[in-house]
Structure 1
Amino acid sequence: MSTKSNPIAARFERAFDAEIRSRFFKGLEFAGPDGDPGWFGPGSAVWYVHSHLPTVLLGLVGAAYIEGLDPSISWMAYDHSRIPERADGIPTGGIDPEGAAVRLGHSLSFFIGTAYGSTATAERLARTVRAMHHTVKGTRPDGLPYDADDPDWLRWNYATVVWGLATAHERYHRRPLKGADLERYYREFVRVGEALGGTDLPGTKAEVAECLESYLPRLALTPIKAFGTGPNLRDSKVKPWEPGSPFMDWAARDMLPQWAQKLALYQPPNPVTLRLRRSTLWLVLNGLHDATGPLPEFRQAKARVAGGVSAPVASTAPAAPDPVLTRQEVEATA
C-alpha cells in the first residue's frame, strides 16, 4: 500500500525506516532464499498476528510491564540494560530515551525477524539474544542472585511475551484470531521460546495465564517499577504514543490480569472513560495499520514463498552450547 497520499502514514514510514529499520534490521534477510518458510511460513498464525505492527508494539509494551513485576527482572534491567538513565555510571531513577529506543529497536527486529525472516536470519537472531542472556548475571540488593539463563526466568519471560502479544492482538486488532486459531498462535510461538533456551513452556492461552499467576508469590512492585508507573509519570515529557508515557503506561496496566492490576495498584477509570480510552486506542492502532499496510518485510516474505515452500526446520531448540562472549562481543555481532 502506498503511503504517499497519507501524510501521517508517510511520516510513520520515514520514522520507522530512520529510527528502527536502518539501525536494527541490518543483515536480516527477508527476500530470500526462495521457498524458505522461515520458522513459521505462510498461513501461520504468527504471520497473521505480527503483520499488524501497531498491536505488536503495544503487546511488547504490555509484556515489558508485567515482566518487570519480577524483582530479578527489575534488577537485571537496572544493572545491565541501557534503559535506566545514569550519571557517572550510577542510575538516577529516570529513563534514558536513547536506551529505551535501542531496547525497542532490538525487540522489533527480533520479533519481526523471527516471524518473517529466513531460517538463517531467525537462527542468527536467537543466537544473539541467547549470547546476551549469558552475560546477564548478578546479585540483587537483598542478596539473591539472578541469572538470565535460569530455566524459571526463561519460562516467566516467555510467558510474559506471548501473553502481551496475544492480548494486544485480541483486544485491539480489527479482525483478531479467536478460538482454535488464537490457540494456534500460542502453540506456534513456543518455537521462539525454545530457540532462546526455554523448556517446559506453556502452549495454550490457559496454560500461559496459569503460568503467569503461579509466579505471583515471588513478584513485587520494586522501587524501580514504582518510580516508573502510575501517578509518578504524571509530569512525564514523553510523547503519548511512546513507551514510558502516562498513556502507554495506562494501556499496559489496563491489559494486565486482575491479580497483576492489584499488584500494580491499578485503578481503572469510570466505565465511560474506560470505554472511551479503549475505543480511541483501537481507532488509532487500526487507523495507523490501515494507512501503512503490512511492513515491507512481511511483503518480502510473502514473495519469497510465492512459488512454494521447502520443509521447515524440525526444531528451533539450541543444538549445541553457545560460545561464551563478552557483552562487547555480543553487541558487535548484533
Structure 2
Amino acid sequence: MFLPHQLVGQLLNKRFDQDVRRHFFRGMDFAGPAGDPGWFGPGSAVWHVHSHMQALVFGLQCAAYLERLDPSIYWMGVHHSRLVREDTRAHDMPQLDPAGAAVRLGHSVAFFIGTAYGSTATAEHLSRTVRSMHHTIKGTRPDGARYDADDPEWLRWNYATVVWGLATAHELYHPQPLRGKKIDRYYGEFVRVGEALGGTGLPTTKKETLECLHSYLPKLAVTYGTAMATGPNLGLPHSALDWAVRDTMPPWAQRLIQHTNPNIVERTARRALVWSIINGVHVASGPVPEFEQAKARVAQPSGDRAQVDHVYA
C-alpha cells in the first residue's frame, strides 16, 4: 500500500518524465560506458549539489532572474528564444510566453543534469551543442547597442549568475549543504562547464564570483522584463518562491530592484517555509534517476577501454 507522499511522488515523477525527460533528455547516456566517471564523478561537489533536483531547478530560476539585469541578456532572450510570445517579439514591451519559458527551463535542467551525471561523451556533446547555439545569437537591442553571445564579457556574466544561483540555492535549501571551503570546491569544479562553453577568466570561489557579479553593476539596468517581475511581492503563501528567488540575490542587486528584506524573524520563517516546500517535493519524488544510473555506471568494471573509446569517439 502506498503512503500519501509516495503517491504524490509518483505523480510528480510521471509529470517530470512527460514534460522534461521525454523532450529534453533524449540522446543522453547516463548508464554507460562502464567505469566512465564523466566530467566530475563520485565524491565531487557537483555530484552532491546537483543530486537535489528541486534545489537545482530553483537555483536555475534564481540565476535567470539575476542574469536578465543585463539588458543584452534580456534582449537575447526576447529575440532568440521562445521566452516571449512571438506576436509581441518586435514590440518594445514583449509579453512572456509561459510555454516558451517552460521549454527554456527544460533545456537548462537537461544540460546541468547531463553535464553533471552523463558520460564524458554526453557532457562534451551537450557543451558543443550549446556553444554552437551561442554562435548564432547576435543582434541589436532597441537602443542600438549590439549583443553577441560569444562576447567573453557576456560569457563571464552569464557564467557567474548561473554558478551563484545554483550554489546559493544549495546553501539555503539542501538538507546537507556544503559551506565554506566545501562550497568553494563546487565553484572550482563548475568552472569546467563554463570553460567548455567558451568562458575565460572565470571566478573559481564564492568570493571571486561575488566580486565578478558586482563589477558588472555599471552595465546593469532594470529592463521592462525585470520591471514586470519586480515589486514588494511579499505576500504569503502564493509568492513565497518568488520572494525566495530575490532573497538569493547579492545585496546590491536587491537594492537595484528595490527588494526589501523583512526582519530577521520573518525572513527566517519565510526561508523555513520555502525549505519545507522544496524538500517536501524532493522527498516525495525520491532520488534523481540519472544520479543513480551514474553511480552504477562508475561502479562497473571498465572492460575493454579501447572498444569503449572507439564507440564514443
CA separation of 1:156/1:309 partners in 2, compared to 1, >3 Å: closer, same or farther? farther
Give 1:309 deviation, angstroms: 6.7
> Which residue number corresponds to residue 25 of structure 1?
25
Give 1:270 deviation, angstroms: 4.1
SS in 2 for 1:49: helix
Q: 1:256 aligns with which of 240, 249, 253?
A: 249
Q: How many residues align?
A: 300
Q: Distance in 1 between matches of 2:163 and 2:78?
A: 23
> Which residue number corresponds to residue 109 of structure 1?
110
Q: What does residue range 222-241 of structure 1 map to in structure 2 within 5 Å?
A: 222-230=223-231
Give 1:247 deviation, angstroms: 3.6
Give 1:268 deviation, angstroms: 2.1
> Which residue number corresponds to residue 172 of structure 1?
173
Q: Distance in 2 between matches of 1:202 and 1:88?
A: 37
Q: Distance in 1 between matches of 2:155 and 2:254?
A: 23
Q: What does residue range 35-184 of structure 1 map to in structure 2 within 5 Å?
A: 35-87=35-87, 90-91=90-91, 93-184=94-185
CA contact (8 A) 2:9 2:286 kept: no
> Which residue number corresponds to residue 317 of structure 1?
none
Give 1:179 deviation, angstroms: 2.1
* AA aligned opposite 1:11: L
CA contact (8 A) 1:4 1:10 kept: no
Task: Report sequence identity in percent.
Answer: 60
Give 1:10 deviation, angstroms: 1.2
Q: Distance in 2 between matches of 1:281 and 1:183?
A: 24
> Which residue number corresponds to residue 306 of structure 2?
none
SS in 2 for 1:84: coil
CA contact (8 A) 2:234 2:243 kept: no
Q: Distance in 2 between matches of 1:3 and 1:211?
A: 47
Q: TM-score, normalised by structure 1?
A: 0.85
Deviations 1:18-52 (A, max 9, x none): 10000100010000000111100111100000000
Q: TM-score, normalised by structure 2?
A: 0.90
CA contact (8 A) 2:233 2:243 kept: no
> Which residue number corresponds to residue 294 of structure 1?
287
CA contact (8 A) 1:230 1:250 kept: no
Give 1:108 deviation, angstroms: 0.5
Deviations 1:155-213 (A, max 9, x none): 00000000000000001111101222211111100000000000111001110010000
Aligned-residue CA RMSD (Å): 2.1
> Which residue number corresponds to residue 330 of structure 1?
none
* AA aligned opposite 2:73: I
CA separation of 1:93/1:271 partners in 2, compared to 1, >3 Å: closer, same or farther? farther
CA contact (8 A) 1:38 1:116 kept: yes
Give 1:3 deviation, angstroms: 8.6
CA contact (8 A) 1:59 1:168 kept: yes
> Which residue number corresponds to residue 197 of structure 1?
198
CA contact (8 A) 2:240 2:270 kept: no
SS in 2 for 1:95: coil
Give 1:285 deviation, angstroms: 1.2
Moved more, 83-92 or 66-75: 83-92
Q: Distance in 2 between matches of 1:88 and 1:251?
A: 29
SS in 2 for 1:200: coil
Q: Distance in 1 between matches of 2:152 and 2:3?
A: 44
Q: Distance in 1 between matches of 2:76 and 2:184?
A: 31
Unaligned 5+ segments in structure 2 are: 304-313
Q: Distance in 1 between matches of 2:39 and 2:120?
A: 6
Unaligned 5+ segments in structure 1 are: 241-245, 311-334
Give 1:229 deviation, angstroms: 2.9
* AA aligned opposite 1:201: L
CA separation of 1:76/1:269 partners in 2, compared to 1, >3 Å: closer, same or farther? same
> Which residue number corresponds to residue 310 of structure 2?
none
Q: Distance in 2 between matches of 1:62 and 1:273?
A: 21
* AA aligned opposite 1:285: I
Q: Distance in 2 between matches of 1:190 and 1:54?
A: 22
Give 1:283 deviation, angstroms: 1.2
> Which residue number corresponds to residue 314 of structure 1?
none
Q: 1:281 aligns with which of 255, 267, 274?
A: 274
CA separation of 1:279/1:220 partners in 2, compared to 1, >3 Å: closer, same or farther? same
Q: Distance in 1 between matches of 2:114 and 2:121?
A: 10
> Which residue number corresponds to residue 304 of structure 1?
297
Q: Distance in 2 between matches of 1:186 and 1:146?
A: 27
> Which residue number corresponds to residue 326 of structure 1?
none
SS in 2 for 1:93: coil
CA separation of 1:152/1:3 partners in 2, compared to 1, >3 Å: closer, same or farther? farther
* AA aligned opposite 1:83: L
